[in-house]
Homo-oligomer: A and B are copies of this chain.
Amino acid sequence: MTQRILNIIVAAGSGSRFGADRPKQFCLLQNCMVLHHAIKRIKAATPGSHTVVVMSRDWADAVDSLGCTVAIGGATRWHSVKNALDATADVAADVITVHDGARPLPSAAMIERVIAACSQHHGAIPVIPVTDSLRRVDGSPANRADFRAVQTPQAFCADLLRRAYDVEYRPEFTDDASVMTAAGYTDIALVDGDPMNLKITLPMDIEIANVYLQHGAGR
């Protein structure tokens, strides 16, 4: 049975810390916006899927004619995903992916990995090793080998994610996996992420993404 996929792409951030004239997801990376890179890669890897993009009202027309539903962003990432789920309540789906619109270069193979893992787990998240040593903020050591850095897209069994979001907001909801965990859906698989699946955080990250593109990222 083919899985029916609903993709949520979160792009409502105001980017007030980014330091450019526009939020980072709307900056140009080669021939299109960072967000368009994300949308086209997610859509291409999930033929027949439905995609909803969460945007601030001011930018909603930036995804016109890309074949996506638009939902309006909320006060936090949790509220934005909640709005996307509400806006697609009538979309039948087996798996829901949630991706950060500021990550332009998710590879098809990685998208397929997180979705495939949902047939055996409550959900799946792409992770990469932590390359720097870690310390706790209180100064005590932490072993980086005990941790993984988490990327998106994350994928979840659709019914479970909808149920997990059917609660009041809590500040510890920093990502969708934490929302699932709080609801008791703790079987979240860790699958291989991709070091080139970067999140645009600083303006020069656009140049870093260009280097990655030249090295085959996002294919």
Q: A residues within 8 Å of B by Cβ? A: 125, 127-128, 130-137, 139-151, 172, 174-175, 177-178, 181, 186, 188-190, 195, 199, 201-202, 204, 207-208, 211-212, 214-215
Pairs across A and B, CB under 8 Å, 19 listed: A127-B135, A130-B149, A132-B199, A133-B150, A133-B175, A133-B177, A135-B147, A136-B146, A136-B147, A137-B146, A137-B147, A139-B186, A139-B188, A147-B147, A204-B211, A207-B211, A208-B208, A208-B211, A211-B211
CB-CB < 8 A to A214: which residues of B?
Answer: 207
Are B195 and A135 closer than 8 Å at their CB atoms? Answer: no
Are B147 and A142 closer than 8 Å at their CB atoms? Answer: yes
* Number of copies of chain A assembled together: 2
In the bound complex, CA of A214 to CA of B206 (Å): 13
CB-CB < 8 A to A195: which residues of B?
Answer: 202
